[in-house]
A and B are shown apart, each in its own frame.
Chain A
Amino acid sequence: MGKSYLGIFRMEFKGELQYRAKAISGIATQLFWGLLQIYLYMAFLNTESVDGFSITQMASYIWLGQAFFAMRYILMGKNIGQSITNGNVCYKFVRPLNLYNQWYSETLGQKVASTLLRFPLILIIAALLPVGLGLSAPVSIPALLLCIVGILLGVCMSTTLSMFIVWLTFKTLSEKGSATIISTISGLLSGMVIPLPMMPQAVQNVINYLPFRFVSDLPFRIYIGNVGITDGLIFLAIGFAWLVLLTILGKLLIKSALKKTVIQGG
């Protein structure tokens, strides 16, 4: 059972590893963006901290975000959208497998592979930058461990959210539109555009409990010590509950969309 999905995961993983030029240009972009964002906020803020979120912490937060960009970005597997709009998806139907799980393994495989190709080098370079501009060490060993757990939850959450793009593509037959809607919402609510600790407290009170922040915000805040160990554990539990709930919801939505599917042409 699991072996088939693991096989799909491995296949996509291997496929993604072939694109070295893509990874190198990705790393360059991420480094540039990281620096740009940090300088930008430094220029605007002109203070040592925002609500207890120091510039040094912000730099680490942004670097972690850039290093794990491939994981955070809500995007379905690269061939899925196209296969739905051009009908190639029919081959997915003739396999003795669950369709949602097939897409999930595919997307997860690509996300993990492209993240693994990018993050070590970005983290090393960011760590070599001067203090205040670069990546600082984690506040404690338990924080680091919890951050790793948070990242694993994040990559699953990101994949689960990506499945809603698959669903929306089935509904609208527009791959780009569906991806844009969902990745824009999640980009804003997961701290990709503005680090969440810099948002107004009232907004944070809501966003902190939405599923999107578990994609990236939470693990990085645990790393820099902005969220303590106890709070971190509580939030991880909330995140896990969201993951289960949204995965079930995604499965149900896709199942009902598939019932109405018509594969045209040829």
Chain B
Amino acid sequence: MDKLIADLKKQIVDQLNLQDIKPEDIGDDEPLFVEGLGLDSIDALELIVLLQQHYKIKLESADDGPKVFRTVKTMAEYITAHQPKNV
């Protein structure tokens, strides 16, 4: 799980082109949207694509978005629970 969280942080910084933020600056339980990293709806689309590209996971329902993308840790937990076995 720790490696997955570290990988996710790096992928988020790269995919969203976050300026002046290093992967290690993002807390595992830090909110990604609004009061935390301050991400917005366009970033949410980028994160959905990130899940598909890197982990071959399609979000089952748009309603799950706020829960899945709440923090890096919740993303990692969702990936662990849904990742296909051969990836």
Answer yes or no: are A and B bound together in one complex. no
